[in-house]
């Protein structure tokens, strides 16, 4: 279930003060979750984090091999302590995406959003939603979407990076405080939550009535658009039904401090990471996507340019230096997240492992620089990859190896039943085995 509208968010959060929270109790979880533990299995966590525009070409190493033995850009300095816990992969391309200004919109769907017959702009299901359907059923949220407040030239495009099976967007939450309330509750009673759900259902009933009353008046093209609209309504109804099933399961006791309002840039990302770690600890969700606030990061660093402008740095020394500062800060934050994953015990791991041991984390995006959407940035961390030994820069033997190969591998390693996703023509593990 995902809460995606401002009105429903306010309905859940404004009243405050009544719901008693409990510590995380595994016995209160649905039977499917407990069954996995009883089989001595550790659930996998999947995290996709996307920047809009990528880095300067100098950022990407030319040599392959051990990260400690090859020449690395100064931006990687904050990551040196974690070189043994991450991998770089070159030659992945999102081949179907022909939109060179909006790299995140089709990043996880690997679709040509401008190429659907009869549709000016459309998308298909993103790989995180395949995972949500198959490994997210036992958690309060099948998936969680973390978003930017606005694109602001970041190169993200659209309104989201997660898309349902009908191609409709899952925009998600865009502030640490909303994320916090989503995981730990808004201090509402069960009755108040039920009433809020009832109001949301009433709104959907009105929308469904309007949809059915207009259908007979429309031509074929508009009927197709209306059917997409109806599918989205059905999806939201399923989300509401799922949320009702969780009313009697208390929100977990908060294990991290409530973030301040008005955070921006680095402070915002750090707060998001803390709540993300807590989300995995209390098993609120196992599938998360995060459109990183690249423009806000620059603003917080006092850099007077947006990511789009930096992607056209060319030979301009000032823009090149801004790009280096930006890249180094992202690597610092990425290293922080790796540290947090490695330092946090996984409460669902019967062998006493860490969240890092049971996670697969991607950091990258659909654009390199200058609107190049080939050989896109790809950094991986986490011990959940079955065949990947970290500490290396891997280079796919074939240029423009489908990025969908990586998504297929991650889905399979997480336990999803899938042959090939989107335009995949194989598995990514052929690169690093």
pLDDT in single tens digits along all 433 residues of the chain: 333 333 334 433 333 322 333 344 444 444 545 554 545 678 999 999 999 899 999 999 999 999 999 999 999 999 999 999 999 999 999 999 988 888 899 999 999 988 777 777 789 999 999 999 999 988 999 999 999 987 878 889 888 999 998 888 998 999 999 999 999 987 666 676 666 656 665 555 555 555 555 555 555 555 555 565 556 666 666 676 777 778 778 899 999 999 999 999 999 999 999 999 999 999 999 999 999 999 999 999 999 999 999 999 999 999 999 999 999 999 999 999 999 999 999 999 999 999 999 999 999 999 988 888 899 999 999 999 999 999 999 999 899 999 999 999 999 999 999 999 999 999 999 898 7
> What are the Cα distances from residue 3, in Å, to 18, 23, 109, 140, 179?
21, 23, 21, 12, 10
Q: What distance lies between CA 149 and its chain's CA centroid?
A: 15
pLDDT of residue 409: 98
Q: What are phi and psi of 86, to 5 degrees?
A: -145, 165
Rounded Cα gap, residues 146 and 77, in angstroms:
27
What pLDDT is recorded for position 208?
54
Give the alpha-carbon dihedral of 158, 164, 167, 169, to 10 degrees: -20
- Sign of the Cα torsion 326, 174, 376, 361 reads positive
235: buried, middle or exposed (CB in 10 Å: 19+, 13-18, 0-12)? middle
What is the model's pTM? 0.85
- Tokens representing 61 are 């190493």
pLDDT of residue 196: 62
Q: Residue 17 in contact with residue 187, Cβ under 8 Å?
A: yes
**Which residue do the tokens 């407990």 mark?**
34
Cα 164 from Cα 166, distance rounded (Å):
5
Domains and CATH numbers, the chain: 6-432 (3.40.720.10)
């Amino acid at each position: 279930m995902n809460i995606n509208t401002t009105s429903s968010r306010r309905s859940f959060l404004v009243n405050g003060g009544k719901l008693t929270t409990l510590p995380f109790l595994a016995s209160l979880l649905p039977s499917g979750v407990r069954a996995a533990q009883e089989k001595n299995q550790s659930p996998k966590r999947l995290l996709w984090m996307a920047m809009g525009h990528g880095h300067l070409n100098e950022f990407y190493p030319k040599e392959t091999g051990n990260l400690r033995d090859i020449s690395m850009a100064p931006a990687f300095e904050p990551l040196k302590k974690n070189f043994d816990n991450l991998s770089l992969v070159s030659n992945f391309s999102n081949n179907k995406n022909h939109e060179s200004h909006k790299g995140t919109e089709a990043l996880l769907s690997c679709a040509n959003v401008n190429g659907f017959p009869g549709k000016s702009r459309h998308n298909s299901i993103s790989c995180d939603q395949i995972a949500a359907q198959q490994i997210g059923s036992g958690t309060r949220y099948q998936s969680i979407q973390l978003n930017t407040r606005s694109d602001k030239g970041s190169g993200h495009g659209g309104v989201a990076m997660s898309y349902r099976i009908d191609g409709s967007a899952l925009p998600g939450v865009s502030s640490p405080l909303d994320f916090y309330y989503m995981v730990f509750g808004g201090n509402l009673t069960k009755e108040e939550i039920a009433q809020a759900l009832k109001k949301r259902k009433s709104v959907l009933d009105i929308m469904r009535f309007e949809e059915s009353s207009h259908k007979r008046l429309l031509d074929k093209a508009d009927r197709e658009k209306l059917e997409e609209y109806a599918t989205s309504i059905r999806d939201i109804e399923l989300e509401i039904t799922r949320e009702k099933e969780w009313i009697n399961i208390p929100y977990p006791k908060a294990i991290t401090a409530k973030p301040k309002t008005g955070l921006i840039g680095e402070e915002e990302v750090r707060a998001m990471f803390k709540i993300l770690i807590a989300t995995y600890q209390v098993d609120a969700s196992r599938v998360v996507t995060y459109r990183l606030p690249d423009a806000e990061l620059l603003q917080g660093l006092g850099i007077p340019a947006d990511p789009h402008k930096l992607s056209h740095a060319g030979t301009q020394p000032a823009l090149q230096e801004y790009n280096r500062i930006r890249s180094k800060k992202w690597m610092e934050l990425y290293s922080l997240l790796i540290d947090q994953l490695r330092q946090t015990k996984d409460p669902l791991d019967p062998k006493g492992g860490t969240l890092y041991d049971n996670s697969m984390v991607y950091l990258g995006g659909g654009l390199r620089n200058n609107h190049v959407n080939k050989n896109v940035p790809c950094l991986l961390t986490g011990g959940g990859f079955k065949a990947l030994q970290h500490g290396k820069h891997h280079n796919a033997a074939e240029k423009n190896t489908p990025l969908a190969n990586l998504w297929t591998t991650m889905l399979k390693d997480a336990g999803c039943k899938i042959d090939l996703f989107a335009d995949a023509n194989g598995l990514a593990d052929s690169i690093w085995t």
